[in-house]
C-alpha cells in the first residue's frame, strides 16, 4: 500500500497545470531634470609678450575641454560664461573683452568674455552628453598698465 501512495504522488506532481493565471505589475521610474558641467582645467594663464611680436597671446596649457551632461525635456540646453568683472591688478583694470575664445565640438561656439552679459559657450536640444573645447586668447596691447591681472569666469549650464 505504501508503494501505491508514492506512485500516485509522483504522477500528480508531474502533471501539467490545469489553468494559468496572469497578473500585471506597474513599474515607474521618476527621472527629473539634472545637469553636470566639468572642465579639464579650471585655471587659465597668459604669458607676458611683446605686443609687436604677439598681438594675440594664447592661454598657457592649450584648450580647456568642457563636458556638459544634461537630462532635460526637449527644450534648449545652454552653457554660458560671465566674468565677475574686468580683470584687476590692484586699482588697474583691463577690459574683459580683451579675452576671446575659439571653440570646437558640436554645439560649441566661439565668443568674447563679458563682465555684463552671459555669453553662450554651447547649446543643444534635449538630453545628452556634449564634449567640446575652448581655446582662449588675450588681445595684447602697449596701453595696458603693468600688473598681474585676474578675474573669475562663472559658467552656467541651464536646462528647461
CB 35 within 8 A of CB 126: no
Q: Would you state the cell numbers that stand for residue 39, as one nine-digit string?
A: 572642465
Q: Is 7 helix (H, G, I), strand (E, B) or coil?
A: helix
Query: Which candidate, 77, 59, 60, 76, places its Cα nearest to that of 68?
Result: 77
Q: What are the cell numbers at 35?
A: 545637469
Q: pTM for this structure?
A: 0.81
| Distance between CA atoms of residues 47 and 142, nearest Å | 15
- Asked if pLDDT for residue 138 goes beyond 80, the answer is yes
Which tens digit of pLDDT belongs to each residue from 102-128?
999 999 999 999 999 999 999 999 899
| Window from 13-22, 68-77, 151-160 with minimum mean pLDDT | 13-22
User: Mind listing the pLDDT tens digit for each residue in 23-78?
Assistant: 888 888 877 788 899 999 999 999 999 999 999 999 999 999 999 999 988 788 99
CA atoms of 35 and 27, how far apart (whole Å):
25
Q: Residue 62's closest CA among 2, 104, 30?
A: 104
Three-state secondary structure call for residue 44: coil
Amino acid at each position: 500500500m505504501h508503494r501505491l501512495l508514492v506512485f500516485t504522488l509522483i504522477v500528480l506532481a508531474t502533471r501539467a497545470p490545469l489553468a494559468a493565471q496572469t497578473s500585471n505589475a506597474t513599474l515607474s521610474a521618476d527621472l527629473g531634470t539634472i545637469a553636470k558641467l566639468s572642465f579639464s582645467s579650471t585655471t587659465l594663464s597668459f604669458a607676458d609678450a611683446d605686443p609687436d611680436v604677439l598681438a594675440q597671446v594664447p592661454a598657457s596649457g592649450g584648450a580647456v575641454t568642457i563636458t556638459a551632461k544634461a537630462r532635460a525635456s526637449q527644450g534648449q540646453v545652454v552653457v554660458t560664461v560671465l566674468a565677475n568683472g574686468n580683470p584687476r591688478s590692484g586699482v588697474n583694470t583691463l577690459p574683459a573683452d580683451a579675452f576671446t575664445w575659439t571653440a570646437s565640438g558640436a554645439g560649441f561656439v566661439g565668443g568674447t568674455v563679458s563682465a555684463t552679459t552671459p555669453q553662450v559657450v554651447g547649446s543643444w536640444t534635449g538630453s545628452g552628453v556634449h564634449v567640446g573645447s575652448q581655446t582662449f586668447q588675450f588681445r595684447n596691447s602697449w596701453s595696458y598698465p603693468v600688473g598681474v591681472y585676474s578675474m573669475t569666469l562663472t559658467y552656467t549650464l541651464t536646462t528647461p
